[in-house]
A and B are shown apart, each in its own frame.
Chain A
Amino acid sequence: MKKTALLAVILTGALLILSMENFPSWGDVQSPASLHLSRHFIEKSYEQTLTPNLVTAVLGDYRGFDTMLETVVVFTAALACFLVIRLPRDVCTPGLFYYRHTRTGLVVRKHDACELPGENPTFERVDSDWPPHDVVVVSTCRMVIPFIQLFGLYVVAHGHYSPGGGFQGGVIFAASYVLLAVSHDLRTLVHRLNERVTHLLSAAGVLLFFGVGLFGMAMGLNFLDYGALEGVLGMSLASGHSLGILLVEIGVGMTVTAALVIIFKLLSSRGTVTEGL
């Protein structure tokens, strides 16, 4: 098997190497790839969209439909994980469960918790395999998380002028929640962002994107034509496009944050979304 694999790989590689004979060399300014489409984008996109970051302009506006589908892919991934590994809520979860008495710090162990006690003030649930409550880690993360979230928002909002945008900002925002789960435990995260909220948020983000597109249709233009935003608040055509990109990026950010949190929660808790990591 390994030898066949090696042979196949070497053959494919050789064929690929042979087929790169007529490619332009590295950094060639006159190659077709940097002349036809990209020249137009570099020279025209600022006056058409008022967005200095060309990547954002092309991503959010010229290829906006691609970006919408890309958001849909993230949304799909979250749904797919939910469909494949989420365990039904009423199923008896086998294994060990630990409860700590809040006053004395005494820990009680329970097998096969079919009926989990609800919000009980005297006992709190402790993760069985990951009890990190370390004072250094917890307090540092508590201090750092707001800054990470602020930075995530900045990356979403400043995508017009610097590297950034909805996807990157959304990932940073989701990372702050992952850090919350790592430093505290998964239940803290679920308490802050429960499943319902994350699912609704992910759908709302795509719907915001979709809504911007439908607004274009409602104004008599094509789907996703941000030119429809012209005249809103007295804006010019180009700043309408700029606003459209911003709205779209916010939608993307919401979906990406929610979807990544969903995937993290499901994967780390093996589908129970109660404890894990």
Chain B
Amino acid sequence: MHDVVLTILPLLFGSFLAILAGWTRSALVYPLGVVALALSTGFCVKLLLGVLSTGTATYLLGGWSPPWGIVFVIDTFSAGMMLLISGSALLTYLAFRAEIIEGFAEKTAAFVALLLLTVAGHMGIVATGDLFNLYVLIEVAALSGYALLGYGSGRAPLASLNYLCVGSVGASLYLLGVGYLYILTGTLNMADLAQIMLAAPVTASLHGAVAVILFGLWVKMALFPFHGWLPGAYAMSSPVAAALLAPLTTKVMVYVVIRLLIGVIPGAAIPEALPDVAMLLGTAAIFAGSLMAYRQIDQRRMIAYILVAEVGYMVGGMFIGNRTAMTGAMLHIFADALMTLTLFLALGSIARQRGEMVLANMRGLFRTMPFTMAAFVLGAMSMIGVPPLFGFFSKWYLLSGALESGQYLFMVGLLVSSLVNVVLFFRIFETAFFDEPGESVRDIEHWSRVTPLAVAAVLLIVAGLSSGLIVDRLIAGIIPASLI
């Protein structure tokens, strides 16, 4: 009965306890985080199984029924998202054990607490069925994210401050849009709102409300003209924060937009020009992201620019307006999160051994860190879209969806970005495979780092092979029948 909320409560509870423990028994802090994340992941699995067998789960917080109180609504897709978020956070947390314990000295407790809070925030965003609650959760997730990304020397604080300004504007615009909808309908609950909006007259204000909400979320998800904060924030920060947040933040925002599009906002309320603008921005994001990724020297920055292109995939996919493309966009959320996780985990391990992540520092890695590089290759292949891996299937859905609707420019974008990814990653493979490692290089692969990475990489293959199952069980039931 309490499964829905029990996925989030261990994280919140763990973060408060981490602070208490940090000032009394600091050795307990790291295990506390492991327990909290593991409990959360366990409950996510239980919730997913429950939702798969009994259908959508609803939880009334405070016991007040929907329009008056706040509810959590979990369907199969969001249960999958919850599992993805908590699972990837757990893997990151386990893989970066050494950094978390040593790297923050007296601040480990604060770091762990913030990490748990940001994961809780992201999971809450997925779970909540209330528009305003969503805003608060976005801020919980973002605020702790700013701190995690801003910790560090050099340009990290500036990049994080930049992210904070852009992110706050995005969230504020979302809040404004919610206010518009509240004026027009008098409610904040998503299901209630969907019903009222179906009957409400379609006016300029309704269009304005939808446009402002989507605009705010686009800013938050780093869609092309608003992507400026993303590469800096992920490339400058500590590897833990980047590996934790890169798979989550943009994907969760994409999830919110998809949820609003298919569950709340009726088609008539979307301004006519908006899908075209979205397609344009999505395609531009793909081209610009790939182009700028090509010019980067720092490898984390390069992958961050690829992320910008990936956001373009998903935004394009959801606004193409047919079932296949929407399925592709939803599947790509999972695929992109897993690929990013694998790549950032591998880069984190490499950065621990080799320092700065430039191409010259990656010589001979295949010889000294074979397992890490194997996982990196799998992640990169999936980014490129090589068949048995997860990334191929979501891209396939996106491509065939675009073909159905005749969005040829978008298709070209997808292919070009795949080609650019080939060039980018093979550049790395070449350096890492053929060049000799330096004399003084002594790389260590510890099992505690390799295991989470291997799990993520194997998941890429497993999920790729079972992507038909994922589409059938998790995604197909969620897309409304009206979308053909």
Contact = CB atoms under 8 A, between A and B. Distances in A.
Contact between chain A and chain B defined by CB under 8 Å:
yes
Interface of A: 15-16, 18-24, 31-38, 40-41, 61-66, 69-70, 72-73, 75-77, 79-84, 86, 88-89, 196, 199-200, 202-204, 206-207, 210, 214, 216-217, 221-227
Contact of B117 (A32, A72, A210, A216): A72
A18 B20 contact: no
A62 B20 contact: no
Contacts of B182: 33
B224 interface: no
Chain B, interface SS category:
helix
Given A66-B133, A86-B107, A18 B114 contact: no
A33 B184 CA distance: 7
A84 B136 contact: no
Contact of A62 (B69, B117, B186): B69
Nearest to B118: A76
A206 B14 CA distance: 12
B16 interface: yes
A225 B23 contact: no
B184 A88 contact: no
Nearest to A18: B204
A39 to B, nearest CB: 9
B107 A65 contact: no
B134 to A, nearest CB: 10
B208 interface: yes
Given A76-B143, A83-B107, A223-B5, 14 more contacts: A22-B204, A31-B183, A33-B186, A38-B186, A65-B70, A76-B144, A79-B114, A82-B107, A83-B110, A84-B147, A199-B19, A210-B13, A222-B59, A223-B9
A38 B13 CA distance: 32
B144 A80 contact: yes
Nearest to B21: A203
A212 to B, nearest CB: 11
B208 A83 contact: no
Contact of B207 (A16, A19, A216): A19
A19 B205 contact: yes
Contact of A222 (B12, B60, B180): B60
Contact of B61 (A31, A196, A224): A224
Is the interface on chain B under 10, 10 to 19, 20 to 34, or 35 or more residues? 35 or more
Contacts of B106: 88-89
A223 B2 contact: yes
Dominant secondary structure of chain A at its interface with chain B: helix
A223 B7 CA distance: 12
A69 B124 contact: yes
A27 to B, nearest CB: 13
B306 interface: no
A73 B211 CA distance: 27
A202 B205 contact: no
A76 B16 contact: no
Contacts of B481: none
A73 B143 CA distance: 8
B477 interface: no
A76 B147 contact: yes
A64 B61 contact: yes
A59 B12 CA distance: 20
A221 B19 contact: no
Nearest to A89: B106
A19 B173 CA distance: 14
A69 B203 contact: no
B157 A84 contact: yes
B384 to A, nearest CB: 37
B33 to A, nearest CB: 14
5 contacts: A19-B207, A24-B183, A36-B186, A75-B16, A83-B147
Nearest to A64: B62
A23 B70 contact: no
Contact of B114 (A34, A83, A207, A217): A83
Contact of A72 (B22, B67, B111, B140): B140
B67 A222 contact: no
Contacts of B136: 66, 69-70, 73
A20 B356 CA distance: 51
B480 interface: no
B28 to A, nearest CB: 14
B147 A65 contact: no
B174 interface: no
B113 A79 contact: yes
B185 interface: yes
A84 B16 contact: no
B187 A37 contact: yes
Contacts of A24: 183
Contacts of A16: 208, 212
A36 B66 CA distance: 13
Contacts of B93: none
A90 to B, nearest CB: 9
Nearest to A61: B62
B222 interface: no
Given A24-B183, A73-B140, A65 B23 contact: no
B123 interface: no
Contact of B19 (A36, A79, A88, A227): A79
Contacts of A86: 107
B17 to A, nearest CB: 8
Interface in B32-90: 59-64, 67-70
Contacts of A77: 143
B188 interface: yes
B484 interface: no
Nearest to B209: A19
Interface in B127-154: 132-133, 136-137, 139-140, 143-144, 146-148, 150-151
B91 interface: no
